[in-house]
Amino acid sequence: MLDVAEQLVQTRGFNAFSYADVAKALGIRKASLHHHYATKSELGLALLERYRRAFGQALGRIETGSRDALERLQGYVTLYGSVLRRGRMCMCGMLAADVATLPRPMRESVAAFFAENEAWLARVLEEGRRSGAIRFEGRAEALADVFVSSLEGAMLMARGGGKTRAFESVAGHLLAGVGAARRRARSPSRPAPPGRGSRRVAAPSGPRAAAGRR
């Protein structure tokens, strides 16, 4: 039930599907859905709680499976790319588009999702700057906001244009910008050849992701 509802939110938006759509996809009666979630708002909140939990677990896997901050950022970008290539959008990004019509508990959960993502990114960025793995100017919190906003906007552009290259271009520029320190460390006497100055974004192969702006 939650899998089907999540897919509908990611492809249509929260206000563009009904219990009838979920019941039809599952081959059951709407009454069965109401037995589990009396209202659509309850269903939406359950979706958000599950999505945030899954995303947090994905970030944990990135932490344990990466050598440094740049690889963690690359893994974060891959989460978005994997969703886009499945023909979906970040669920919280889609919900953010409907935020004015969402019940308060859902609005608060969407806001919490973005706050959690920005906090994680800010920590990774600051740790990477201290270790020398990445380089950037200004506050880590501000750059974390840029990452989330840019990736969400890139997903919208890619979806609207029917191509993923727009997303890959934005993602590549974000990673190249903070990877400048590593490029200089590899070749201190001359600039890196074109196309080799930054790590390529890995092929998406991860759990669902998302982000968006409030």
Give which of 164, 205, 212, 165 is closest to 82, Cα–Cα: 205
Q: Classify each residue of 67-82 as buried b or exposed e, where b means 16 or more C-beta atoms within 10 Å of its C-beta.
A: ebbbbbbbbbbbbbbb
Q: How far apart are CA 3 and CA 22, in angstroms?
A: 10
Read off the pLDDT of residues 144-197 as tens digits, 9 standing for 90 and up.
999 999 999 999 888 888 778 889 999 999 999 998 445 444 433 333 333 333
Q: How far apart are CA 180 and CA 133, in angstroms?
A: 9
Please, what is the average pLDDT of the chain? 85
Whether pTM exceeds 0.75: yes
The domains found in the chain, sorted by start residue, are: 2-186 (1.10.357.10)
Average pLDDT estimate for 121-143: 96
Give which of 116, 124, 140 is closest to 63, Cα–Cα: 124
Read off the pLDDT of residues 34-74 as tens digits, 9 standing for 90 and up.
999 999 999 999 999 999 999 999 999 999 999 999 999 99
